[in-house]
Structure 1
Amino acid sequence: MTTSDDMARRVPRPHFWERDYSQGVPEGKDLAALRSGLSRDAGDVPAMWPYYTRLRSDGWVTAQLRAEHAALVLFAAHQQSQSRLMHQPTVGLGLAMAKLRLSGKFTAEAVDKRFGAAATATSFPEVVAHLRGLVSQLRTLTPAQPLDYTLLFRDLRDWQDLDRVHAVRRRWGAQYFTLRNKPQTPEPTDSATNA
């Protein structure tokens, strides 16, 4: 017999950040409800309940729910006061951090250190705390650097599995060092364009 929980696990509705925002960005009241979950445990904030796709009727907190909770609050903090959507498919965390490093807004050493602290975190609350700081830095760029929150959700889900956390770290590192080690194409100078 198939229960409604079984159906919800098979075909979850889109995450909040994946909804159709072609007419704009998420409303401020929705983002405020999600930000109320900062520094709180998954499922503990009633204002967030309507936004979860991994909430279970038995109240059990799963790795998926913890990951979704973290992604929701990080997205809400990232999206606050932004005029364009901060969820951008295919921009993994390592790639976003490499773009932050290349922006020159912060020293390369500072970005390396903060990103390294996130990548080497030994607990789920620790990695989420580091990500919160990194998302704040992404917001400071002009324009703000978006991030793929669906990928981040999956990474945070896998972070909680000792057999998968190493793959997450490798993926973040590969994205970060592949872009940052690419030679940058110099902008043409006026003399080069007049030649």
Structure 2
Amino acid sequence: MTSSSRPQPKLFFWERDYARKLPDGKHLTALRRGLGRDPGDVPAMWPYYTRLRSDGWVSSDLRAEHAALVLFAVHQQSQPRLVHRPGVGLGTAVAKLRLDGKFSVDAVDRRFGAAATATSFPEVVAHLRSMVSQLRSLTVTPPLDYTKLFRDLCDWQDADRAHQVRRRWGAQYFTARDIVNEASTPQDLEISQP
């Protein structure tokens, strides 16, 4: 099989071309039905998965994709711009939340710390859901790289790699926060990352 005849990997829902039209509200509603539910348990979500297996096995990839789909749907709801932006890690997005002033700095630090130190996958997802809801509530909603978040959530489920995710989130948060402290306004923070 030549490289040109290989099937292209399926794009995640949040990676689709939304240049002309944002995700339809009915799709986001279907994805939000997955809140608090197990991956694969919500038939309305089945068309949006790329990691669904024919044998029904719930893999760590499917758990991560389910969480990312639900979080994306919560974040994107009623937003005038696409909230998925490649290169914007979780720590960077939450640093914008910290700077905005709508929530106290201590509260944002505590909430971010609770997510980073969560001891189970459902716990980290619950903390992320809360932070995403807060991001959505800002006047200018900070974007987030949902593909990167998916990969982080895959790694989170592996005890040997979870510490790397924590370290990456912390580094993004504290380096972005330090840049923000030097900037004159919240908009001065460049949110793209390598």
TM (normalized to structure 2)? 0.89
Q: Structure 1 CA distance, aligned partners of 2:124 and 2:131? A: 10
Matching residue within 48, 51, 58 for 1:54: 51
Q: Does 1:153 align with 2:147?
A: no
Matched residue type, 2:88: V
Matched with 1:184 is: 182
Q: CA deviation at 1:185?
A: 3.1
Question: Is 1:127 aligned with 2:129?
Answer: no
CA separation in 1, counterparts of 2:105 and 2:17?
36
Aligned residue pairs: how many? 179
Give the drift of 1:145: 1.1
Q: 1:139 is aligned with what amino acid?
A: R
1:21-32 aligned at under 5 Å gives the runs 21-32=18-29
Give unmatched runs, 5+ long, in structure 2. Answer: 1-5, 186-194
CA contact (8 A) 1:42 1:69 kept: yes
Q: Deviations over 1:11-36 (max 9, x none)?
A: 53000000000112100000000001
Decide which structure has the larger Cα Rg and report it. 1
TM-score by length of 1: 0.89
**1:112 has 2:109 as partner:** yes
Deviating above 4 A after TM superposition, structure 1's stretches of 4 or more consecutive aligned residues are: none
Question: Match of 2:3?
Answer: none
**Residue type of the partner of 2:171?**
A
The residue correspondences of 1:1-195 to structure 2 (distance < 5 A) are 11-182=8-179, 183-186=181-184
RMSD after superposition: 1.3
Q: By how many angstroms is 1:61 displaced?
A: 0.5
Per-residue CA deviations over 1:115-153 (Å, capped at 9, x if unaligned) read 000000000000000000000000111111111100000
In structure 1, stretches of 5+ residues that fail to align are: 1-6, 188-195
User: 1:179, CA displacement in angstroms?
Assistant: 1.2
* Percentage identity across paired residues of the two chains: 72
Tell me, yes or no, if the aligned pair for 1:12 and 1:54 is still in contact at 8 Å: no
Q: How many angstroms apart in 2 are the aligned matches of 1:186 and 1:61?
A: 47
